[in-house]
Amino acid sequence: MNDIKELKQNKVISIPETLTVKHLSELLNLPASQVITELIKNGIIATINEEIDFETASIIAEDLGFKTERDLSIQADENITLEKLLDICQKEKESKKNLQTRPPVVTILGHVDHGKTTLLDTIRKSHITNKEAGGITQHISAYQVKKKGQLITFIDTPGHEAFSAMRERGVSLADIAILVVAADDGVRPQTKEVIEYLKEKKIPTIVAINKIDKPEANPTKVKQELAENEIVIEEWGGDIIANEISAKNNLGIDKLLESILLVTEILELKADFQRPGLAVVLESHLDKHKGPIATVLVKTGFLQTGQDIIAGNAFGRIKRLEDFTGKKINKALPSSPVTLMGLNKVPQVNDVLYVTDTQTLSHKKNNLLKNRLGFDKKILNKEKIYQKIDENKLKKLNLIIKTDVQGSLEAIHQILDTIKSKEVAIEYIFEGIGNITESDVKIAESSQAEIIGFNVHTTTVAKRMAENSNINIETYTIIYELIDAIKNKLSGLLPPEIIRTDLGKLKVLAIFKRGKKDMIVGGLVTQGKIEKNCLVDIVREKENIGQGTLTNLQHNKNNVTLVKQGNECGLTIETKTKIEIGDILVFYQEEEKRRKI
């Protein structure tokens, strides 16, 4: 028995991203019934042929006494995750086989308006800022520069809070991060967010203190604030290089590039230049002339025209490769940002693109065909098991969303997914890349949906169809304005908050008329006041027995709108409840207040 236990502890089980319960039992060399029992203990009901994800399988295996690791071999029908790609690169580095020096991948991060995009513009001599709506970068872009004969790859990531997922991806792909802090503004909330992420991921960092040419610039104050956030520069006895720059006036940029090369030399960055390529989709969109286009960063291996490729649920053959300048190339090596054409559909941002063989590609096509016919497998995990929503209680906002690129769609989803409500929800009827067309209007008409566009246009035919069918189309160029508009639409679906204001009480002293729908009574106002047309609670022996509405009010046989405490009055009350002498009538008003998400 002890020998078996020791064998379990010493054996490391390699688990793929997804696998069936049967496959897991085979890997563990245990009866499937034992694995199923362990799944049930963890709140997951799964049959022997159902699939579970890596995280769930790993927990089950460890509960059963095994050590686990992620299986880094690529399966025929597998969608490789970014985490697995980074693991493959790490294993590759440890193997030291076929390795060559590669350029560093650098990302520039910091608070909005601190000059990240201006810095990139200065480095690559272009003017992105003027083209971006609202003066903020809303997409990822990548390019390369040369310094002292060495290539440096830059990834630009958005600065606005709605794009935190895209910023994190930029950091996860980067070898070096440049933290930009404005000398006239200091460490701001997004700066702190970036610092925490850099520390967590242990990304080598260079600080660029920007805008030093401004009269109000205070680099010393910035260095102090950085130190307070555990970013201690070399000048202050730390190990982080800091450069004082002015991106706008091209001051200190050469020294900053030299700092990048210095850190690169220390890191000894290498990759396998001979293996089939593995890349990450940075951006993607649909071009009406060229079809699906993806901008990717090659992590290891090489890409070249004619290769069969898979990226998530997209597949195809590389028809054309272009470098960041748009120049046609035949081959792309590690750390290269390239645009490629030839996929059958627009891939998702963050998909891992990999080179495959004809047989695997054919297998992928067959699986996708089965999925379209309704035979796709359902992968079970704990999160899905416990996400139970009572659909009948939710009011839904039906939306069709069209964006310019996949990254925009991802950012919109990221921020909208943070909206938590038990009363309203967004129903995504359709999402896509490209302009709003007549087919979108047809879908909206059949599903009673609204169409929201980001950085896209509406075709003339679609506009006319929408007007004729009363379909609402709204387009935006600033992402946070789009988010606010959708939040307002959701708020409009919420039932209003009812605010009750108690006015006064009356004791019933006489009954003058009993009607089928109303009663005329007399009484004394014992508390507060009574106003015409207010609402009434009828209380008998401290128990609320009915409601009504005060439709007429008299004092000294004259019609009035108000009677105060201490006065007697006659009342006509619209109610189905039979009021008796001695009952207490409680008068109040209700006000509806619009709620917000």
> Average pLDDT of 137-155?
76
Cα–Cα distance list, 577 to 246, 344, 369, 455, 543 (Å) = 79, 70, 66, 60, 13
What is the spatial distance between Cα 201 and Cα 313, in angstroms, rounded to a whole number?
29
Report residue 256's pLDDT band, with 50, 70 and 90 as the boundaries: very high
Domain boundaries of the chain, sorted by first residue = 2-71, 103-268, 272-372, 389-493, 497-593
pLDDT higher for 307 or 285? Answer: 307
> Average pLDDT of 149-168?
65
For the ranges 15-19, 383-387, 498-502, the maximum mean pLDDT occurs at 498-502
Query: What is the per-residue pLDDT for 438?
Result: 87
Residue 7 has pLDDT above 70, yes or no: no
Report residue 10's pLDDT band, with 50, 70 and 90 as the boundaries: low
What is the spatial distance between Cα 547 and Cα 576, in angstroms, rounded to a whole number?
8
| 3-class DSSP string for 66-116 | CEEEECCCCCCCCCCCHHHHHHHHHHHHHHCCCEEECCCEEEEEECCCCCH
Query: What is the per-residue pLDDT for 232?
Result: 92
Residue 388 has pLDDT above 50, yes or no: no
Query: What is the per-residue pLDDT for 140?
Result: 42
Cα–Cα distance list, 144 to 181, 363, 370, 416 (Å) = 23, 36, 41, 34
Query: What is the per-residue pLDDT for 375?
Result: 39
| Helix or strand run (H / E) with residue 123 | helix 116-124
pLDDT in tens, 101-117: 999 999 888 877 777 77
- Of the candidate ranges 67-76, 222-231, 512-521, 522-531, the one whose mean pLDDT is the lowest: 67-76
Residue 367 has pLDDT above 90, yes or no: no
Beta pairing partners, 67: 12
Query: What is the per-residue pLDDT for 478?
Result: 87
Report residue 461's pLDDT band, with 50, 70 and 90 as the boundaries: confident
Query: What is the per-residue pLDDT for 163?
Result: 43
> Average pLDDT of 48-60?
87
> Average pLDDT of 299-312?
92
The pTM is what? 0.60
Residue 575 has pLDDT above 90, yes or no: yes
Average pLDDT, the chain: 84
Report the b/e string of 392-415 with b at 16+ CB within 10 A: eebeebebbbbbbbbbbbbbbeeb
- Of the candidate ranges 209-223, 379-393, 407-421, the one whose mean pLDDT is the lowest: 379-393
What is the spatial distance between Cα 348 and Cα 407, in angstroms, rounded to a whole number?
8
Report residue 139's pLDDT band, with 50, 70 and 90 as the boundaries: very low
Report residue 91's pLDDT band, with 50, 70 and 90 as the boundaries: confident
| 272-372 against 497-593: fold identical | yes
- Of the candidate ranges 223-232, 236-245, 377-386, 452-461, the one whose mean pLDDT is the lowest: 377-386
What are the residues whose beta carbons fall under 8 Å from the beta carbon of 452, sequence distance 6 or more?
399, 400, 401, 402, 474, 475, 476, 482, 485, 486
Query: What is the per-residue pLDDT for 382?
Result: 45
Cα–Cα distance list, 276 to 91, 152, 336, 471, 478 (Å) = 16, 22, 14, 48, 39
Topology of the domain comprising 272-372: Elongation Factor Tu (Ef-tu); domain 3 (2.40.30)
- CATH match for 389-493 among 3.40.50.10050, 3.80.10.10, 3.40.50.300, 3.40.50.12280: 3.40.50.10050
pLDDT higher for 186 or 80? Answer: 186
> Average pLDDT of 241-263?
92
For residue 416, the one-letter residue type is: L
Query: What is the per-residue pLDDT for 160?
Result: 43
- CATH match for 497-593 among 2.40.30.10, 2.60.120.560, 1.10.274.10, 3.40.50.920: 2.40.30.10
Q: What percent of the chain has pLDDT over 90?
A: 45
> Average pLDDT of 34-44?
88
Query: What is the per-residue pLDDT for 164?
Result: 52
pLDDT in tens, 183-222: 998 898 888 888 888 888 888 999 999 999 999 999 999 9
Class of domain 103-268: alpha beta
Closest of 173, 215, 167 to residue 193, by C-alpha? 167
Closest of 346, 336, 362, 365 to residue 271, by C-alpha? 336
Query: What is the per-residue pLDDT for 88?
Result: 83
Beta pairing partners, 502: 588
- Crossing angle of helices 54-63 and 21-28, in 10° steps, is 40
